Structure 1
């Protein structure tokens, strides 16, 4: 037993030393990374190869050897015929981008790099497909995200946006720029409106004899406040600002989808797939998977993703933030009958 106690004591000391060394290395790496600017890299995946690998795996398990041999022979003949086709390169390529938006449009940083990269190579006979999922968020953030897609359209490159789940509010601001909008049968589109809300605890502070002082220069520097007493004039100005943003939103959508009855759809409502198609918010009912399966038979399809390198402290803080967001969103969806816009 004495030998065992000594062994446990030695093991505890060794683990303590290792832990201290690991912490020191992390701190050294973090201190060196503070002065460095985080860089990223562009990752490109040829989706034709990915689809082919999955098909091969299934074929190996399902088809007989004779059927598999015939399939491979037919594929070789198809590749040979395509390579002889002088017009093969004229069919164009498809570049696939993914945008999963949160309230701050955090994916914007990656999107701007992806767009800048592909615009150096893409041609008018190519196509950009954006798989878009967003329920909207901050006006200025989604305004800039939409501007990135405008760059693609202004360059004369066909832009297709596919919505499998939701493109609402700022998300639809991005979607409306496309030459063609694809929507899954139960995807939600619309919410062309503006909302703002904030609590006011002025009466609570007053009840406890707590004063709140706010000094401003400019009549409308602050219209509504959380802690101070809000005036009717401030509310009117705040509402006026919301109406102005809504007007700009409607003008933006109408510019890129002129066939829309903008006054009929800019009510803040959302519509599901076929309903959105009837109202002109979408052009076709189709999932992104269906569309990609079609396109890989017709052209080379490349998925483009800009991966931002993050420092250790950013990764740790980001992981904690994502975990907290997941917990909050889970409980929010429960309290809102599983509907979260």
Structure 2
């Protein structure tokens, strides 16, 4: 018995040491991981003027003879020299380019918020922000946050131009309407100022197989419609009331930034192509983002901002699977909508 007692004390001491070592190792791993995450977050800034110049020079090298190219470079050097002298008295305006490729969760807002925070530390009212926006909308709260990030630019007094090359619908248009100007490609899709919610109900299937489903709530409207429970007319009315309230807030938000709109005419949930959207004053001008930026590159310095946060391997796999699933569902719905739209 004495031996067993000593052995138990020995095991207790060993266990204590092992647990202490494990705690220290876990702490070190967590600290290194957090430090690694910090190092994986950074803001990339690219000067688009240099990119345009490189493309032009590459084409000139392929098309011009050696003497012609030499004369052209000599003339360009003189122009650059004069421009530098002029910039000492009249500095070029700056234009900051942001990109937002939206999904249902508006997950790109995580990068957008950091990009806007960064540019607001240096941007002036004489500068301009251009947002290249592509989104078919998604969750109300997610796009509400994304729109609020753009409001920060307006509140700072910095001109905001929103360019839509493909689609800015629903939550996407909620973001677009904040711009001082909205430019759209002729066949871009805009509008869908409405709210939709849909869910299946499996209650009859469960009853058929003698499966009971119970949900307990505190609060009369904690649950209105459910997937498995038996929905009531009162619950449906409350759910519809909530949708209508959200729609009113959506309309008021758009109207506050686009006072030129006939909000009752356009807030029907319909979508329009760029040309029709221009007639309905949903956009201000028909122009692609490439055309606009190429024009501005002649008289302004263009800087493209991109905030990057590298994900771990499991996070990347999870995000990739989620994106594939989401894009598959969206592709199916888009095809159905396109058939309806074009037929």
Report which of the two structures shows the higher radius of gyration computed on alpha carbons.
2
Matched, 1:280 2:281: yes
Q: What is the CA distance between 1:150 and its match in structure 2?
A: 0.2
TM-score, normalised with respect to structure 1: 0.86
Helix, strand or coil: the match of 2:292? helix
Mapped partners of 2:318, 2:231: distance in 1: 36
Matches within 5 A, 1:1-341: 33=33, 37=37, 39-86=40-87, 89-330=90-331, 333=334
TM-score, normalised with respect to structure 2: 0.86
Moved more, 250-259 or 58-67: 58-67
Q: What is the CA distance between 1:37 and its match in structure 2?
A: 4.7
Mapped partners of 1:261, 1:44: distance in 2: 39
Mapped partners of 2:336, 2:155: distance in 1: 43
Given that 2:192 and 2:270 are in contact with CA atoms closer than 8 Å, whether structure 1 keeps it comes out as: yes
Mapped partners of 1:326, 1:30: distance in 2: 34
Cα distance, 1:96–1:207 mapped onto 2, change above 3 Å: same
Q: Which runs of 5+ in 1 are unaligned?
A: 1-27
Given that 2:96 and 2:302 are in contact with CA atoms closer than 8 Å, whether structure 1 keeps it comes out as: yes
Mapped partners of 1:334, 1:143: distance in 2: 27
Mapped partners of 2:338, 2:278: distance in 1: 26
Given that 1:96 and 1:131 are in contact with CA atoms closer than 8 Å, whether structure 2 keeps it comes out as: yes
Given that 2:167 and 2:189 are in contact with CA atoms closer than 8 Å, whether structure 1 keeps it comes out as: yes
Q: What is the CA distance between 1:262 and its match in structure 2?
A: 0.3
Q: What is the CA distance between 1:253 and its match in structure 2?
A: 0.4
Cα distance, 1:190–1:65 mapped onto 2, change above 3 Å: same
Moved more, 79-88 or 152-161: 79-88
Helix, strand or coil: the match of 1:197? coil
Q: Which residue of 2 aligns with 1:15?
A: none
Moved more, 118-127 or 320-329: 320-329
Given that 1:135 and 1:166 are in contact with CA atoms closer than 8 Å, whether structure 2 keeps it comes out as: yes
Q: What is the CA distance between 1:233 and its match in structure 2?
A: 0.6
Moved more, 330-339 or 147-156: 330-339
Mapped partners of 2:31, 2:330: distance in 1: 34
Aligned Cα root-mean-square deviation (Å): 2.3
Helix, strand or coil: the match of 1:320? helix
Q: How many residues align structurally?
A: 313
Cα distance, 1:171–1:336 mapped onto 2, change above 3 Å: closer
Q: What is the CA distance between 1:330 and its match in structure 2?
A: 4.8
Q: What is the CA distance between 1:30 and its match in structure 2?
A: 9.8
Q: What is the CA distance between 1:34 and its match in structure 2?
A: 7.3
Mapped partners of 1:282, 1:306: distance in 2: 28
Given that 2:130 and 2:161 are in contact with CA atoms closer than 8 Å, whether structure 1 keeps it comes out as: yes
Alpha-carbon displacement from aligned partner over 1:136-169 (angstroms, at most 9, x marks no partner): 0000000000000000010000000000000000
Mapped partners of 1:99, 1:86: distance in 2: 32
Cα distance, 1:223–1:35 mapped onto 2, change above 3 Å: farther
Q: Which runs of 5+ in 2 are unaligned?
A: 1-27
Alpha-carbon displacement from aligned partner over 1:241-294 (angstroms, at most 9, x marks no partner): 000000000000000011110000000001101100110100000000000110
Mapped partners of 2:44, 2:163: distance in 1: 21
Q: What is the CA distance between 1:84 and its match in structure 2?
A: 1.1
Q: What is the CA distance between 1:317 and its match in structure 2?
A: 2.4
